[in-house]
Amino acid sequence: MSRRVVVTGMGIISPLGTGVEEYWSALAAGCSGIGPITQFDTSGYNVRIAGEVKGFEPTDFIDRKSSRRMDRFAQLSVAAAAMAVEHAGLDVAADAENIGVLVASGIGGVKTFEKETGVLLEKGPGRISPFFIPMEIANMASAQVSIHLGARGPVSTVCTACSAAANAIGDAFEIIKRGAADVMLAGGSEASISPVGIAAFSQMGALSMRNGEPERASRPFDLERDGFVMGEGSAILILEERERARSRGARIWAEISGYGMSGDAFHITNPEPSGENQARALLAALREAGLRPEDIGYINAHGTSTPPGDTIETRSIKIALGEHAREVAVSSTKSMMGHCLGASGALEAAACILAIENGIIPPTINLENPDPECDLDYVPNQAREQKVRVAVSNSFGFGGHNVTLVFQAP
């Protein structure tokens, strides 16, 4: 019999705030964390808005020397992991070899890459920082967490674009189930609000250009949606074998019971139009959890606010759930914080867990003119009080990566 896995702590740094309470309060209130970009001069850019993390000071969590040798995405992951460990009351040093780390990033250290490329072009190869590579590579979100906390169990990284954090949580779940670790710090981190990041996604036609009203720019399932809004942040969950958590008297926030994956085998950026492959991931997660479609109370949608993506996800939910698709509450928290790329799946997993805990479903804000092809219950504009026993989180990544996680009340 496979071991059961529970969530005993969370660390969150997001455009909506830092820490579990601040994050949840903003979600439940339907606040927007999107505004004008402040991290660089956006003059001449088609896109000038993003969901930035406000007031983050890495030296609150990391010594100054170490923080200067990390890209922002790694700083965010170390800070979120430290908060998660404290939230869970976890003593890493007491059982370090049985505690692992799996933190995803879709992009990695783009800020460092951009900066050092500028140094190369302006000053020549001899002026490149010797820390360039260990700051830029995507595995450093996990590696730096392991180093700073002393976790010596399985340490790895997932890089599956916008589904990366969900894959990280799911893979960590499987690691604990098979007995390779008792505890995993799992989630994602991303910090791609940079000149290259914004320009590149803008040139793809992926980003909203609603610069004059940033709070209304991310509008999943709305007929007037015109692309996603870039976000940044990190969320780390403490996944723990259930009996271990019980034996130490830990608070159990939720149980993770299902993890489904599928591939589109279709296109480098566009989801496969039928929605059948996304539906397969959802159904696979339900099978592993031993649940039926009728058991689901809430779906945190991938819901990016892109014209094809939201329509196809709606289609996939109908395929997977049948008639129950009309009964289940579906919302996109990206409407409030934008799309945090490789961190999204972890931030949205936390939203599912907190919806279960609080009996409140966060809304899809800015849903003012519903797309006729997006005709499910998207909890428009205001949170809803509703008991949730089972919550599902969808995450989909460029290249056709489809991931669904299932969380249940403890």
Q: Which residues are catalytic?
A: 162, 302, 339
In angstroms, rounded to a whole number, what is the distance separating the alpha carbons of residues 233 and 338?
10
Alpha-carbon distance values, 145 to 125, 258, 273, 397 (Å): 30, 26, 38, 24
Taking a C-beta distance cutoff of 8 angstroms, is the pair 117, 135 a contact?
no
Q: Which amino acid is at 119?
A: V
Q: HSE of 111 in the Cβ direction (CA atoms, 13 Å)?
A: 17
In angstroms, rounded to a whole number, what is the distance separating the alpha carbons of residues 396 and 163?
5
Q: HSE of 266 in the Cβ direction (CA atoms, 13 Å)?
A: 18
289: left (phi over 0), alpha (psi -120 to 50) or beta: alpha
Name residue, tokens 């909506």.
Answer: 16
Taking a C-beta distance cutoff of 8 angstroms, is the pair 230, 192 a contact?
yes
Distance, C-alpha 86 to centroid of its chain: 20
In angstroms, rounded to a whole number, what is the distance separating the alpha carbons of residues 12 and 25?
13
Taking a C-beta distance cutoff of 8 angstroms, is the pair 69, 78 a contact?
no
In angstroms, rounded to a whole number, what is the distance separating the alpha carbons of residues 159 and 168?
9
Contacts of 269 (CB under 8 A, 6+ apart): 204, 206, 398, 399
Pairing of strands 183-190, 99-104: parallel
Beta bridge partners of 102: 156, 186
Secondary structure (3-state) at 109: coil
Exposure string over 195-225, b if 16+ CB within 10 A, otherwise e: bebbbebbeeebbbebeeebbbbbbbbbeeb
